Structure 1
Amino acid sequence: MKILLPPSETKRPGGNGAPLDVSALALPGLAAARHEVIDALIDLAGDEDHARRVLKLSAKQAGDIAHNRMLRSAATMPAVDRYTGVLFDALDSGSLAPASRRWLGAHVWIHSAPLGPIGALDPIPPYRLAAGTSLPGLPPLRRHWADATTEAIAGEDPDFILDLRSEAYVALGPVPDAVASCYVRVVTEHGRALNHFNKKSKGLLVRALAEDRARLRSLRMLRTWADRRGFVLRSADEPGVEELVVAE
């Protein structure tokens, strides 16, 4: 099983890892596409006013441009520790046992805008780029990433994919049709979609999977595990979509 997570806009600063090594990231077939986005971000960072407009940053966020300028030289940390926010706070990877963190590294991809899907333990620097951004010199990120990412995922030949991404990141790399998968939507008992609890519930779900170091190869096995663990999963009206039901 592979799990696809969205990134977060907020990131932990600093790090003590070596600078970014694109060749060492998960899904190595995406290396060329990654270098193109990195180069475009570094070039853009050379003009702060233009970068603020393209990245839609406020004056208080202008410091993020420096992160982009240093993408190839800044210190790194594991991606799952770099990202903060509701989902990653609920996952709380730093408090997991070493074996559970290794499970994250083997089973979780986090879908970043500049690098595509990366392994949870892949070391990355801080950056600023959203899924809907169009960078000078490149096509919109959806066109830049979608086909290449789908092909790279297919090349990994996963037996089952649990897709917990937001729709914006699904568009950057749809799961191949030939791969068994389910997309998870968080809802209340009455079917109302949630926002804050959507992210928190996904983080708690992945944490529980990591704690158990689950070996799941199908939707049926996921449902059995979820029932035992107290998570409520039910089929949605749309094919390939599961609803994770939480209290309001």
Structure 2
Amino acid sequence: MVHRLHLISGLPRSGSTLLCALLRQNPRFRVAMTSPVASLCGVLHQKMCGGEFSVFFDDPKRAAMLRGVFDAYYPHVEPEHVIFDTNRTWTARSALLRELYPQSRLVCCVRDIGWIIDSIEKMLAQNPLQLSRMFNFQPGGSVYSRVDMLMNSENGLIGLPWSTLREAWFGDEAKRLIIIPYEHLVKEPERTLRKLYDELGEPWFAHDLNNVIYDEPDYDALLGMPGLHKVREKVEYRERKPCIPPDLFAKYAGSSFWAKPELNTRGVKIL
């Protein structure tokens, strides 16, 4: 049974895989770069609220069934173990998570939109013989047409989590958010991790920042993006020039709402 749960969410290409790779060094933590639990909960929730069988469910039963998804996916969890379930859609379910696991926190990795787009384009350039599931395996097109798909607020790889993160940021559950900017994690990993441990009320564990190992080759191959979730062994910040046109950077230059103190009206914790 899952006793202690936190969620990792936020924006893509913003350090969540690196964060998972670091946290999983702690033997008390169970964490991976993504899981299907959010999707499973979504399908089950829909079935319990709509259709011919919805009359057989009340709120306590719905809550028990949804907790059962976590318990089934994470069996044999000791009471002292902490589950970190990762999915970018958790920010759209913050109120539901409050009902299911009131003590849980939403750890959200963020990064400037321009650099997220640039990171995706860099991965595409590194795999020219592959076609990506991100773009429905369609060949051709331009960076501008791909960005339009990425930024779609209903189903875009960036646009959807960016929209749901804004919703959580300005909503009643904002106090449960923990924001980790990408630059903070890669430039000051130990300081960032120590602050995260403090926020979660967990005893400190000394992480090996020079021997970080994580890779998901089968999952990345399915996406048509080999190496997408492969983590470099040493945590460090690397300067590089962007590969996307400067007008795209300019277009999304003001989208980092977490970097504007005047917009942090709910006092969200930023590490």
- Which of the two has greater strand per residue? 1
**Structure label with greater radius of gyration:** 2
Q: TM-score, normalised by structure 2?
A: 0.26
- Which of the two has greater helix per residue? 2
Q: TM-score, normalised by structure 1?
A: 0.28
